[in-house]
Amino acid sequence: MQQPPFKPVHVERPWGDFVKFIENSPCTVKIVTVKSGEALSLQYHKSRDEFWHIISGIGTAIVGEEMLEISPNKEFFVLRGTSHRIEAKEEIVLLEIAYGNFNEEDITRTEDRYNRVV
């Protein structure tokens, strides 16, 4: 699996801790929810890479040729041009950080159960 161009940094404090995912870099940040039993289209992007940090849920991710198990605190990095999909066995909530030119129109779907392949 591809590695992101950064490494999340874990910082301890007397009151607890935090993980810094990005600093001083242009990006788009989203919280994505995939309902139980649902799936994103199999898709790729021409203009952005994506980093996913799983907050909650169980399912599978397809990243390129790999099928990977999703569970809380797992992280995935998807390079632009790489086919990817998330399928939720239990509702999945994830933090998505997109690097590059972000545009919701920059989605090329190759499979989709909701009839959105163009």
Does the residue 4 lie in any domain?
Answer: no
Going by pLDDT thresholds of 50, 70 and 90, the confidence category of residue 28 is very high
Does the residue 2 lie in any domain?
Answer: no
Does the residue 74 lie in any domain?
Answer: yes
Domain enclosing residue 47, as ranges? 9-101
Task: Tell me how many domains the chain contains.
Answer: 1
Does the residue 42 lie in any domain?
Answer: yes
C-alpha to C-alpha distances, 47 to 17, 27, 34, 51, 80, nearest whole angstrom: 33, 12, 23, 14, 6
Task: Give yes or no for a contact between 96 and 50, defined as CB atoms under 8 angstroms apart.
Answer: yes
What is the mean pLDDT of the segment spanning 14-34? 91
pLDDT in tens, 91-118: 999 999 999 889 989 999 999 999 999 8
Does the residue 115 lie in any domain?
Answer: no
Question: Which CATH number goes with the domain that contains 48?
Answer: 2.60.120.10
Mean pLDDT of the chain: 93
Instruction: Report pLDDT for 40.
Output: 96
Does the residue 111 lie in any domain?
Answer: no
Instruction: Report pLDDT for 58.
Output: 98
